[in-house]
Amino acid sequence: MTSPATTYASPFVLSVLLLVSIPVIFLLAPRLLPPKTLPAIPDADESDDLALFRRAILSSSSPSSATPTPSSAASYFFRRRPAPKVAFLFLTNSDLVFSPLWEKFFRGHHHLFNLYVHADPFSALTMPPTPSFRGRFVPAKATQRASPTLISAARRLIATALLDDPSNQFFALLSQSCIPLHPFPTLYNTLLSDNAGPHGRHRSFIEIMDDAYMIHDRYYARGDDVMLPEVPYDQFRFGSQFFVLTRKHAIMVVRDMKLWRKFKLPCLIKRRDSCYPEEHYFPTLLDMQDPEGCTGYTLTRVNWTDQVEGHPHTYRPGEVSASLIKELRKSNGTYSYMFARKFAPECLEPLMEIADSGCDVMNKHRVSIYALELLREANSGS
């Protein structure tokens, strides 16, 4: 039996449904059509990062973190100021296969550095961490190529290192396929002895290029004119993702909201081949804010001969030799290269052999890969 109320209500309900459905269709339509852009960064990741960055900025701007506040002049003079440290920031989505090599590099210098690892939580790391890497994994989020998530991960590492230790004065970004080319003291002295920045300050070693032929496509990867007004075309820069930043620049990076608003936009799917935001964000930001404080080149050697789909030459075990290490150190800049990439995981064994064989001959006291340093002198002297 139909109640009179239902009979009267039906046309009314129908028309209401019809009215409601129009906006619903408009809302759903974009979801039903294939997306035009690559996936955006999840909002939850963004808000977690913002909270972390705020804490890092706050802790870095308090006077006690910059210079220890002396309770009296005397205590100031007698207090031993902690030595500046290098924060090694490892960005990885696979096992840190070269950690035994890094252990040799780090050995005996633990008072002069800190280590932080951002490992993509969706990648399975199977190797147990070696001692220096143990407990050094920071809360990580998913990372993908062709995505601003690589910038987020680097900023997350920088912010964590800023917060963790006010003695962290240099921030070196590395990946699992990077190797050291020199002993730790050579790196440390290079970073600390360079004071060609404004007012005799240390500089960041970051590559900054503006004449690269791919800048055009890279600039428009997120869409036409979406970068304006924050990032004008002629201020868009290009450079290796692997850098060493000073603490001043590290703070600048986690403070930035203005450029990030543009660089975090996902690329258009049709332009994904030009989507390498991590190679543009840092050089563009630092070139806008403090060009004199940057060297304009990186300390990380890479071989782009015969590149394949945006991947540089990956060294295989057969190519590894002491003379390759010597060759990779050579640079046209003021300083020798300190790190190199990319090395296939199988290169660990020959690299360790070079390290150890050098030690046997030249350095009986301490195991150090970088007896190579001495080997070079021995060779050039003979």
Contact 354, 369 (CB under 8 A): yes
Q: With CB under 6 A as the contact rule, which of the stretches 40-48, 276-284, 329-337, 357-365 interacts with ligand NAG? A: 329-337
Q: With CB under 6 A as the contact rule, which of the stretches 41-49, 84-92, 164-172, 323-331 interacts with ligand NAG? A: 323-331
Q: Which is nearer to ligand NAG, 116 or 205 (CB)?
A: 205
C-alpha separations of 184 from 6, 107, 181, 277, 369 in Å: 83, 9, 9, 30, 10
Residue 235 interacts with ligand NAG (CB under 6 A): yes or no = no
Smallest CA-to-CA distance from 157 within 210, 119, 121, 198 is with 119
CB of 315 to ligand NAG, least distance (A): 7
Q: Which two tokens stand for residue 187?
A: 């790196």
**Distance of alpha carbon 149 from alpha carbon 118, whole angstroms:** 12
CB of 331 to ligand NAG, least distance (A): 5
Give the per-residue contact string, 245-284, with ligand NAG (x = CB under 6 A; - = no). ----------------------------------------
Q: Which is nearer to ligand NAG, 235 or 303 (CB)?
A: 303
CB 123: neighbour CB atoms within 10 A?
Answer: 13
Q: Which is nearer to ligand NAG, 305 or 380 (CB)?
A: 305
The single residue among 217, 225, 292, 327 that binds ligand NAG, judged by CB under 6 A, is 327
**Distance of alpha carbon 360 from alpha carbon 193, whole angstroms:** 31
Contact 149, 218 (CB under 8 A): no
CB of 23 to ligand NAG, least distance (A): 57
Q: Which is nearer to ligand NAG, 162 or 206 (CB)?
A: 206
Residue 314 interacts with ligand NAG (CB under 6 A): yes or no = no
Task: Please tell me what DSSP assigns to residue 294.
Answer: E
The single residue among 55, 109, 313, 342 that binds ligand NAG, judged by CB under 6 A, is 313
C-alpha separations of 90 from 79, 96, 180, 211, 330 in Å: 32, 9, 13, 29, 24
Residues 288-307 that bind ligand NAG (CB under 6 A): 303, 305-306
CB of 143 to ligand NAG, least distance (A): 26
Pairing of the two strands 204-207 and 294-296: parallel
The single residue among 330, 334, 349, 377 that binds ligand NAG, judged by CB under 6 A, is 330
Smallest CA-to-CA distance from 137 within 155, 159, 112, 116 is with 116
Q: Which is nearer to ligand NAG, 261 or 330 (CB)?
A: 330
> Residues 6 or more apart from 107 whose CB is under 8 A from it?
366, 367, 368
Strands (E), 294-350: 294-296, 300-301, 339-340
Q: Which is nearer to ligand NAG, 46 or 319 (CB)?
A: 319
The single residue among 6, 126, 332, 382 that binds ligand NAG, judged by CB under 6 A, is 332
Neighbour order of strands in the sheet with 294-296: 113-119, 85-92, 168-175, 244-246, 204-207, 294-296
- Report how many residues bind ligand NAG under the rule CB under 6 A: 8
Residue 331 interacts with ligand NAG (CB under 6 A): yes or no = yes
Beta bridge partners of 340: 179, 301
CB of 208 to ligand NAG, least distance (A): 15
Q: Which is nearer to ligand NAG, 289 or 336 (CB)?
A: 336
Kindly list the residues in this chain that would bind ligand NAG in the complex (CB under 6 A): 303, 305-306, 313, 327, 330-332
